[in-house]
C-alpha cells in the first residue's frame, strides 16, 4: 500500500516537472519540490507556471506553533497572488519539511507585509533559523526601504552529519512583536552544483566548499542582457541586469548572440546557468585608440566580515577563431585569472565556461570589485568579456548568515538553562553596577562641591547607543533617545516617526542622492523647514563609527561654507542624519553627467573659493585641526545661490597634535582624489586634503571625472593628464570646451599654477589651504580685470580649442572608495592610480 507521504512526494515532483515542461525546460526534475503558500487556503499558480500549495495540512509539511494567526489581503493586485496572504506568529514557531533527497537544497523565503488591522507587519521584528543556520536576525521589513516583496534565497544542507532528513525552519518574533512569512520554496539541487574547486582571493591552493557551509545569494547578474525571471531558468533563479553595478558604463559595450547557438561542453551541466546568460555579455568599448589599456569594472556592496563565493560565467561568441580572446580577470585589485583564453578550456567558440572563487571580506572592506581587461601578453587584440556573475555569502563559524548575530544554539533545554544562568549573572552585575554608580555619584558631587574651579569641561566621549526594538508611533518614544527637544551638544534628536513623516515613509521619489553611508532623501519638517535626510544602509561599511564621527564633528562646527547638521535619529537600529537642504546638489552634477546649465568661469571660481574657505576653517579655525579625508566634487554641495559648502564628515579625523607631524591611520578616501604620499606611508596630514582639492580644481576646469577608464591610459587620471599639459604650459588644450574664449590667459595660468602646487608629490611641497584660498581669490581678480578686454576685443582670451580631447562622460559612475589598504609598494602617483586600470596582485 502506498503511503500518504510517498504519494505527496510523487505529486510534488510531478507538479515541478509539469511546471518545467510548460517553460520548455526538461533538463532537471527535482526529487524534492515543496512550493508552499503560507496562510493561504487554496493553491496558487504564479506567473512562471509553478503551483504553490497551502500550508494547511499535509504530512510532509508540519507547522507546530503555540499561537498563530492567518491574515490575508485580497486587495493587493500589484504583485503575485502569493503575496496576498501571510502567516503570522506571535511566538516562536517551526515549519518541519520532510525531504527525500539528502544534500544541498534551494531554500527561498518570500516576505511581504500585507495589511492587517491588528498588527503592523511592516514594523515586525523577528529572526529566522534553518537547521541551526541563522538566516535573519531581528529582521524588519521597514528597514529595507522597499515597497515590493522580498525574496531571500539560500543553499542549505539537509540530511548531513548534523541533521536529519528534515528542514526545520524556525521563525521567532522578538518580545512584543510578531513574525510573518508569505511563501516557502524547498527544492533539491542538481548533484555537484557547488562541488567544484574554488580559487581563494588572494590566490592560494584550490579547495571545495564544505557541504556544511550555507550560502545566501547576494547577487546574480546577467552581463549585457536583460533581467531573467524563473521562466528562463531551469532552477527558477532570477538574474538581474548589470547596468547599475558598472562603475563606468561607457567602458563597456553590450553584445549578444542567439541563445540556441550556445554549447555546453561535455561534463558541464545546462543547469549551471541558462543559455540566455551565456548568449549576452559586456565587452570592452571602443575608445578609438590603437592600444586599449583599460578594464571594465563592476562594484558590488557586500557585508564585511564574511567570505563570499564568486562564480564567473564566460562564453566567447565574439571571436571569429579560437585563441583570439585572451584577457585578465581581477577581484578586489587582485589577479584572479591571468591571460584567460576561454577557447583553450572549451575547445570551441560559443561554449559555456565558468570558474569559481572565494573572497575573504573580513579585512574591513564592504565592496567586491570585479574587473576584466586586456592581457599584458599583447598577442591578441585588446578585448575582454564577462557573461554572468554570481556572488553568494558563506555562513560564518557561528553558523550565521547575518552579521548582527554571533551564535545560535539549537538545543532548547540548554538554551533555557543558559538563559537562567545569564539572568542570575546579569542580576548580580546589575546590583554591583548600581552600588558603584551610587558611590561614583556621591564622589563626583563631593568633588564638584569642594573644588569647582578645578573641574575642566572635556569633549564628549561616546557611549554605546541603545538598540531599541519596536516602532515609534508617537513623537517621543519611551525609553529612547527620541525627543523633539534639542541636545545641548549634538543638535536636535529626532524620533523615527518624525523622520518617516518628513520623508513620506522614505518615498523613493524623494531620493536626491546615494552614497557610501546610504540614501539621501529630501524631507520637510513639521515647521516647514526643508531638510536632507541621510539614512544609513545596514549593509554599508560606513556604519556606527562614521555615524558618530559625523555627529561629533559637525556638532562642533558652524561655518558658512560647511553643511550644517540639524540633528540625528538613533532608534530602531536606524542611523539617520538630518542636514540643511542644499537645493543645488553636488558640484559634480553641475560639471558633467546631468542637464544642469553650464557654470561660468566666475561661478566656478567662486564655488572653489567657498569650498577652500570651508576647508581652511577645518584646518585652522576649529578648536582642533580637522582633516576631512574625502574631499571630492560629490562632497561639495551648492545651495540655491550656488554657494559652496563642504559636506560628509564620516571619514574625518582630528589632525596631529602640536608635537606631531602626522596622524598614522588606515587609508580611506576615494580613487582619483587620494594623496599618494598618504597612500604609501599611511601618514595623514591636512596636506592630504590639499591634494584632493587640487584634483577638484582640475575637475572643475576640465568638466570630466577624476577617473575615466574609458579614455586612453594616459588620460584616465585627470591629475596626471592635467599636469602633463600644465608642465608644457598648454593647459588650454584640455579645458572645458564651454569655457573656450571666456577665460583670460593670466587667470588660467595662475589657476594652473595653484592646482600644480596642490598636486605636488610630497605634502611639504604643497601650500596650506589658506595659501590656496588667497591664490584662488587672486585668480578671480585677474579674470575680473581682463573681463572688459575679453568682451570688447577678445585679445587676451583663449581661442577655440583645436586639440581638445573628446570626453566620454561617466556621470552615473560612483567613486571607488579606498578602505584600509595595508600595502604600500606604490612609489609614484602614477602607480597609485594606474591600479584601477591594471590592478596587479599586491
pLDDT at site 462: 28
Q: How sure is the predictor about 77, in pLDDT bands with cuts at 50, 70 and 90?
A: low
So what's the pLDDT on residue 547?
Answer: 75
Greater model confidence, 640 or 21: 640
Question: Residue 524: pLDDT above 80?
Answer: yes
Contact 99, 32 (CB under 8 A): yes
Same structural domain, 154 and 240: no
Is residue 343's pLDDT more than 60?
Answer: yes
Q: How confident is the model at residue 275 (pLDDT cuts 50, 70, 90)?
A: very high
In this predicted structure, the answer to whether residue 446 has a pLDDT above a threshold of 70 is: no
Q: Is the pLDDT of residue 476 over 50?
A: no
Q: Hunting for cell 596630514 — which residue is that? A: 685
**Statement: residue 5 has pLDDT above 60:** no
**C-alpha 734, offset from chain centre:** 33
Q: Please indicate, yes or no, whether residues 594 and 726 belong to a single structural domain of this protein.
A: yes
Mean pLDDT calculated for residue range 339-350: 92
As a whole number, mean pLDDT of residues 498-516 equals 86
Q: Report pLDDT for 442.
A: 52
In this prediction, residue 328 carries a pLDDT of 93
Q: Does residue 729 register a pLDDT over 70?
A: yes
What's this model's pTM, rounded to 2 decimal places?
0.52
Question: Under DSSP, is residue 132 helix (H, G, I), strand (E, B) or coil?
Answer: coil
Q: What is the mean pLDDT of residues 431-436?
A: 52
The yes-or-no verdict on residue 455 having pLDDT over 50 is no
Please tell me whether residues 594 and 736 are part of one structural domain. yes
Q: Which of 241-245, 310-314, 449-453, 746-750 has the lowest mean pLDDT?
A: 449-453
User: 545-563: per-residue pLDDT in tens?
Assistant: 667 777 766 666 778 899 8
Mean pLDDT, the chain, whole residue set: 78
Instruction: For residues 680 and 804, state if they share a domain.
Output: yes
Q: Are residues 163 and 223 in the same domain?
A: no
Is the pLDDT confidence value at 806 over 50?
A: no
pLDDT at residue 290, rounded to an integer: 64
Domain count, the chain: 4
Residue 474 lies in a domain: no
Measure Cα distances from 481 to 177, 428, 525, 544, 665 in Å.
20, 27, 18, 16, 32
DSSP string, 144-172: GT--S-EEEEEEEEESSTTS-SEEEEEEE
Instruction: Provide the residue range defining the domain that includes 548.
Output: 486-580
Tell me, yes or no, whether 358 and 251 share the same domain.
yes
- Separation of alpha carbons 408 and 172, rounded Å: 13
pLDDT at 796 over 90: no
Res 391: pLDDT: 98
Q: What is the DSSP-derived secondary structure letter of residue 174?
A: P
- pLDDT value, residue 261: 95
Q: Are residues 291 and 368 in the same domain?
A: yes
Cis peptide before 202 (omega within 30 of 0): yes
Taking alpha carbons only, the member of 836, 835, 831, 841 closest to residue 677 is 831
In 3-state terms, what secondary structure has residue 122? Answer: helix
Is 515 contained in some domain?
A: yes
Q: Which residues are catalytic?
A: 630
CATH code: domain of residue 524: 3.30.200.20
pLDDT of residue 821: 36
User: How does pLDDT run across 685-696, given as a tens digit for each residue?
Assistant: 999 999 999 999
Instruction: Give the whole-angstrom CA distance, residue 333 versus residue 839.
Output: 5
Q: How far apart are CA 621 and CA 560, in angstroms?
A: 12
Residue 485's pLDDT band (cuts 50, 70, 90): very low
My answer on whether 360 and 248 are in the same domain is yes
Instruction: Detail the residues annotated as belonging to a binding site for ATP.
Output: 534
With respect to residue 409, please indicate whether it lies within any of the assigned structural domains: no
Provide mean pLDDT across the span 88-117.
Answer: 92
Question: What local confidence, expressed as pLDDT, does residue 115 receive?
Answer: 85
Q: Of 394, 423, 445, which residue is a domain's last? A: 394
Could you tell me the three cell numbers for 616? 581652511
pLDDT of residue 449: 41
673 in the same domain as 623: yes
Residue with cell 578586489: 332
Summarize the confidence of residues 42-70 as an average pLDDT.
81
Beta bridge pairs of residue 357: 199, 310
Instruction: Judge whether 96 lies within some domain.
Output: yes
- pLDDT, residue 799, reads 44
Q: Residue 410's pLDDT is what? A: 38
Does residue 82 contact residue 182 with C-beta atoms inside 8 Å? yes
pLDDT level of residue 650 (50, 70, 90 thresholds): confident
Is 708 in the same domain as 779? yes
Residues 6 or more apart whose CB falls under 8 angstroms from that of 544 comprise 465, 575
Cell reading at 743: 577665460
Q: Looking at the structure, do residues 538 and 620 belong to the same domain, yes or no?
A: no
Per-residue pLDDT averaged across 380-401, rounded?
93
312 Cβ partners below 8 Å, 6+ apart?
329, 354, 355, 356, 357, 370, 386, 388, 389
Give the end of a domain, one of 534, 565, 580.
Answer: 580
Residue 800 has pLDDT above 80, yes or no: no
The region that residue 760 occupies, defined by phi over 0 for left and psi between -120 and 50 for alpha, beta otherwise, is beta
In this predicted structure, what is the pLDDT of residue 656? 76
Instruction: Quote the pLDDT of residue 545.
Output: 67
Domain end, chosen from 368, 394, 420, is at 394
Judge if 547 and 683 occupy the same domain: no
pLDDT of res. 76? 53
Check if the beta carbon of residue 550 is closer than 8 Å to that of residue 561: no
Q: Higher model confidence: residue 428 or residue 271?
A: 271
**548 CB burial (10 A radius; 0-12, 13-18, 19+):** middle
Amino acid at each position: 500500500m502506498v503511503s500518504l507521504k510517498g504519494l505527496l512526494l510523487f505529486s510534488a515532483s510531478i507538479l515541478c516537472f509539469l511546471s518545467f515542461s510548460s517553460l520548455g525546460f526538461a533538463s532537471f526534475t527535482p526529487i524534492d519540490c515543496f512550493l508552499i503558500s503560507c496562510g493561504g487556503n487554496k493553491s496558487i499558480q504564479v506567473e512562471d507556471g509553478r503551483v504553490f500549495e497551502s500550508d494547511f495540512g499535509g504530512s510532509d509539511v508540519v507547522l507546530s506553533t503555540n499561537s498563530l494567526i492567518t491574515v490575508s489581503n485580497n486587495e493587493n493586485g500589484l504583485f503575485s497572488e502569493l503575496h496576498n496572504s501571510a502567516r503570522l506568529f506571535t511566538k516562536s514557531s517551526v515549519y518541519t519539511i520532510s525531504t527525500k533527497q539528502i544534500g544541498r537544497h534551494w531554500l527561498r523565503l518570500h516576505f511581504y507585509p500585507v495589511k492587517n488591522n491588528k498588527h503592523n507587519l511592516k514594523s515586525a521584528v523577528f529572526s529566522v533559523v534553518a537547521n541551526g543556520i541563522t538566516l535573519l536576525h531581528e529582521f524588519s521589513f521597514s528597514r529595507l526601504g522597499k515597497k515590493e516583496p522580498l525574496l531571500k534565497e539560500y543553499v542549505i544542507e539537509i540530511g548531513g552529519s548534523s541533521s536529519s532528513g528534515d528542514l526545520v525552519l524556525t521563525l521567532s518574533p522578538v518580545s512584543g512583536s510578531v513574525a510573518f512569512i508569505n511563501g516557502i520554496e524547498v527544492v533539491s539541487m542538481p548533484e555537484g552544483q557547488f562541488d567544484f574547486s574554488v580559487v581563494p582571493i588572494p590566490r592560494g591552493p584550490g579547495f571545495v566548499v564544505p557541504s556544511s557551509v550555507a550560502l545566501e545569494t547576494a547577487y546574480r547578474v546577467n552581463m549585457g542582457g536583460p533581467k531573467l525571471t524563473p521562466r528562463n531558468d531551469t532552477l527558477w533563479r532570477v538574474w538581474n541586469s548589470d547596468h547599475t553595478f558598472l562603475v563606468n558604463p561607457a567602458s563597456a559595450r553590450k553584445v549578444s548572440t542567439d541563445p540556441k547557438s550556445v554549447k555546453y561542453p561535455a561534463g558541464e551541466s545546462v543547469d549551471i546557468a541558462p543559455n540566455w546568460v551565456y548568449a549576452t555579455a559586456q565587452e570592452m568599448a571602443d575608445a578609438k585608440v590603437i592600444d586599449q589599456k583599460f578594464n571594465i569594472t563592476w562594484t558590488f556592496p557586500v557585508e564585511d566580515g564574511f567570505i563570499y563565493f564568486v562564480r564567473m560565467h564566460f562564453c566567447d561568441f565574439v571571436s571569429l577563431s579560437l585563441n583570439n580572446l585572451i584577457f585578465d580577470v581581477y577581484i578586489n585589485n587582485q589577479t584572479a585569472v591571468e591571460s584567460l583564453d576561454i577557447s583553450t578550456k572549451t575547445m570551441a567558440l560559443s561554449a559555456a565556461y565558468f570558474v569559481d572563487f572565494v573572497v575573504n571580506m573580513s579585512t574591513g572592506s564592504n565592496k567586491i570589485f570585479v574587473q576584466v581587461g586586456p592581457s599584458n601578453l599583447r598577442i591578441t587584440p585588446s578585448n575582454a568579456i564577462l557573461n554572468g556573475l554570481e556572488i553568494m555569502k558563506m555562513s560564518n563559524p557561528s553558523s550565521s548568515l547575518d552579521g548582527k548575530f554571533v551564535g545560535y544554539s539549537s538545543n532548547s533545554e540548554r538554551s533555557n538553562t543558559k538563559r537562567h544562568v545569564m539572568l542570575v549573572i546579569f542580576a548580580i552585575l546589575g546590583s554591583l553596577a548600581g552600588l558603584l554608580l551610587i558611590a561614583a555619584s556621591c564622589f563626583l558631587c563631593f568633588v564638584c562641591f569642594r573644588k569647582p574651579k578645578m573641574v575642566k569641561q572635556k569633549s564628549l566621549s561616546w557611549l554605546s547607543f541603545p538598540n531599541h526594538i519596536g516602532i515609534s508611533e508617537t513623537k517621543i518614544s519611551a525609553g529612547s533617545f527620541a525627543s523633539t527637544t534639542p541636545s545641548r551638544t549634538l543638535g536636535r534628536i529626532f524620533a523615527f516617526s518624525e523622520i518617516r513623516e518628513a520623508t513620506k515613509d522614505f518615498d523613493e521619489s524623494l531620493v536626491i542622492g546615494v552614497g557610501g553611508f546610504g540614501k539621501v532623501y529630501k524631507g520637510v519638517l513639521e515647521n516647514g523647514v526643508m531638510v536632507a535626510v541621510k539614512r544609513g544602509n545596514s549593509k554599508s561599511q560606513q556604519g556606527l563609527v562614521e555615524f558618530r564621527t559625523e555627529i561629533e564633528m559637525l556638532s562642533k562646527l558652524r561655518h558658512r561654507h560647511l553643511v550644517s547638521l540639524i540633528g540625528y535619529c538613533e532608534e530602531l537600529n536606524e542611523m539617520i542624519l538630518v542636514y540643511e537642504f542644499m537645493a543645488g546638489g553636488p558640484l559634480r552634477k553641475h560639471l558633467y553627467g546631468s542637464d544642469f546649465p553650464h557654470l561660468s568661469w566666475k561661478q566656478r571660481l567662486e564655488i572653489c573659493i567657498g569650498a577652500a574657505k570651508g576647508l581652511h576653517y577645518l584646518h585652522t579655525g576649529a578648536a582642533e585641526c580637522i582633516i576631512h579625508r574625502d574631499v571630492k566634487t560629490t562632497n561639495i554641495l551648492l545651495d540655491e545661490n550656488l554657494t559652496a559648502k563642504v559636506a560628509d564628515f564620516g571619514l574625518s579625523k582630528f589632525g596631529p597634535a602640536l608635537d606631531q607631524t602626522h596622524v598614522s591611520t588606515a587609508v580611506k578616501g576615494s580613487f582619483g582624489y587620494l594623496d599618494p604620499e598618504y597612500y604609501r606611508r599611511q601618514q595623514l596630514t591636512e596636506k592630504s586634503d590639499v591634494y584632493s582639492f587640487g584634483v577638484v580644481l582640475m575637475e572643475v576646469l576640465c568638466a570630466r571625472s577624476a577617473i575615466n577608464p574609458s579614455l586612453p591610459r594616459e588620460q584616465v587620471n585627470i591629475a596626471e593628464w592635467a599636469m602633463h599639459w600644465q608642465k608644457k604650459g598648454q593647459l588650454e588644450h584640455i579645458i572645458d570646451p564651454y569655457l573656450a574664449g571666456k577665460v583670460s590667459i593670466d587667470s588660467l595660468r595662475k589657476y594652473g599654477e595653484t592646482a600644480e602646487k596642490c598636486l605636488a608629490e610630497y605634502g611639504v611641497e604643497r601650500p596650506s589651504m589658506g595659501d590656496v584660498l588667497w591664490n584662488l581669490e587672486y585668480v578671480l581678480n585677474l579674470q575680473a580685470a581682463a573681463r572688459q578686454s575679453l568682451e570688447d576685443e577678445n585679445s587676451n582670451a583663449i581661442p577655440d580649442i583645436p586639440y581638445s580631447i573628446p570626453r566620454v562622460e561617466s556621470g552615473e559612475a560612483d567613486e571607488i572608495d579606498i578602505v584600509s589598504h595595508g600595502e604600500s609598494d606604490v612609489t609614484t602617483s602614477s602607480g597609485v592610480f594606474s591600479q584601477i586600470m591594471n590592478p596587479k596582485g599586491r
